[in-house]
Chains A and B, each alone.
Chain A
């Protein structure tokens, strides 16, 4: 049983969002980088849980990015996973990322491919779905629970207003979100072990992007809060009706 876990590097959730070079580039000054929370807390930990149940499970991590993603990959390896692959392609184009991962996936003949539900920077939520088309295997998105029985998985996914449970044979792609697993903190033994785990670097093979970011912008700042006397809720109701017109 081989699992491929897709890992993305994202700015910390509290990072200041600002842009440089005429609003064409994210300002990385002082930004702390983390493993995309969906990739770390849910995909990776779920893969580790499967390996804890069955030690013959092999976990590979893959990331698409420059050398600056290596601390993130080492941190992921400290949590778990046997080895990592970095594809040296710096891009914002989801299709480029998916194409790079799909060639690794084809070669590695993985039974399960995990992605996070989305990344918290570009929020594209695209990689799992693109891999479904590129590899022509089943894809279950927004998964909150997964049980493995031999060559079959039973997966619970979120749907609007509830949940749906489905079954498929492997291989399959699953995008993971809250519920799938519980966040873990790497321990000292994991951190030491991560230093010597293999991290393979492969050169980029995809060069043609289908999209290009032209410009970033920030939302307009709110004009300021209007305070309402806590003893006068009739006034708040009036404002919501007549001024905001939302009720």
Chain B
């Protein structure tokens, strides 16, 4: 095995990640009636809105406090208050999330205090304003996403009566994945609080009238009651306890925490279903067993094709871990495993599954595409799995890309690709297999000709 810690370096070449507040925005978009204010300079908000709307094809309204020179020198409290006033006026949200950018953090803005004072000042006691510091220099969108979720729970959860519900906390997955998880829960008759739930807000059906704040999302009162649930399932293995929403519920309210991988692939989906069964005692419905059987059947059908695959897998840690598992189960060798996040857990978590591998592989964290490309060059990697920026590997090294994760901005429908559960895993696996086949058949005749006919040259 080979490790490759890219880590702190003087220059990043072609980043594999984005920054914290973007993840915070996504988390907040999954809360019912929410609106987001980014405290900092205007540009960051505009960039993030563009990035998110390219992926989701939905209007992404995010306000900025548009700090100028004066605000930067003397503090941005006036802008902060005005920003809140204006979004309440135009959007009438039920909850506001305030995030910071690098600029606000660098000049030392205390948004928590400012939010409190604003509430007092405007006499809106009880109006929820969630403040989550998310300086871009401190982490990627993945960390921003989870730490904001944690802040949301910290801000809303109250001491409640114990009940039979379970909390399900998900990483940033597709809207189809969210709907699939809800379907599985419903099929097992489990009442759950899904956090966040942007399956409607970021994938809204076309309707005759337009809503500035789209209906849907996890309800504020449901989040408030997460403290009383019988358990939390958190589909996040790579995150630190300090930003884990589930860890907070456990510490503060004693809600048992089950940290499981994203249910992509056979093994991971089994873990999900068995955990549900273990917690609630629900029966596994026949339909679900049939879906599992169909996945097995499909895995057998494509196993020889898949055995030809050597993959480079990159993106947010949870996406990477899940794709690695799916690949390993199907004989696709994950030779290059990379994330832009700073996490040592990737190695620990993969150690066991990769321990027996005879081939060399590379696990890289806190890395960029220039390093990923180095490792892919002349290495036999014939498939890349990850977000759209991986098109760089296609362009430079001719490696075809299966789009998975965020952002997917150069194809339609990336926001509703199904990859979780037995059914989703099969559809994800099919996408991978077919990409391998495409690539093989396109080059088949010319490769054969070159290899066996033109041997003299």
| Bound together | no
